[in-house]
Structure 1
Amino acid sequence: MLPFDREAAREYADIAAASRSAGRPVAPADCQIAAIARSRGMTVATRNIRDFEDIGIDIVNPWTAA
């Protein structure tokens, strides 16, 4: 588990505002996950690729073939 710290909170605000402006708001939990990953330069591993596609983070679906 990684903490939702000050830098992640800044990223959260940026992600939430940008996604709302684009007409594709991100669910709060997904926004927190993305913000934590983006603030640390990490990749999100998820089967739920669609909800993370337009956020500007690296994502991988570990359930599909490489």
Structure 2
Amino acid sequence: MTAYLLDTNVVSELIKATPSPTVAAWLMGEPETWLSVLTIGELRRGAHLLRRRDETRAARLDEWITQLAASYGDRILPVDARVTHAWAALPATRTLPVIDALIAATARVHGLTVATRNVSDFADTSVSVVDPF
């Protein structure tokens, strides 16, 4: 069975007022899913930036992120020495944002498929990618 590393754009879809029914159905199919600590970081950064405009929404987002992290528990993968070695070895065919490259390296190390809306971002990484949108 394929296991998936969820990119931030897939996770973010879950908190939208009207999430994509396609993504919701895909996740309801109960695939084995994992998160990168970087995804949690990107979500926290979004909440921090939102706080400047809307404290109430930022507090709700923070609470949701806390619940998400608790529900994933040990299925939140770190950026460790193995991941940094895989990151360094990624093909250098084009410049890839560091967070995307580290997510690709995390997927490679753990034998996961990246689930993302931005399939083209991972095109030259040689990791398996699926678009649940």
TM-score by length of 1: 0.82
Instruction: In structure 2, list runs of 5 or more residues that go unmatched.
Output: 1-75
Higher-Rg member (1/2) = 2
The count of aligned residue pairs is 58
List, as ranges, runs of 4+ consecutive aligned residues in structure 1 with deviation greater than 3 Å. none
1:25 Cα offset (Å): 1.1
Task: Report the CA distance between 1:52 and its aligned residue.
Answer: 0.2
SS of 1:33's partner is helix
Tell me the alpha carbon deviations over residues 19-56 of structure 1, each in whole angstroms, 9 at most, x when there is no partner: 2xx2x111101011001000111000000000101110
Partner SS, residue 114 of structure 2: strand
CA-atom RMSD in angstroms: 0.8
> TM-score, structure 2 length as denominator?
0.42
Q: Which of 109, 112, 115 is residue 45 of structure 1 equivalent to?
A: 115
| Counterpart mapping for 1:8-19 below 5 A | 8-15=83-90, 18-19=91-92
Partner amino acid for 2:84?
A
Determine which structure has the larger helix proportion and give its number: 2
Please state whether the residue corresponding to 2:124 is helix, strand or coil. coil
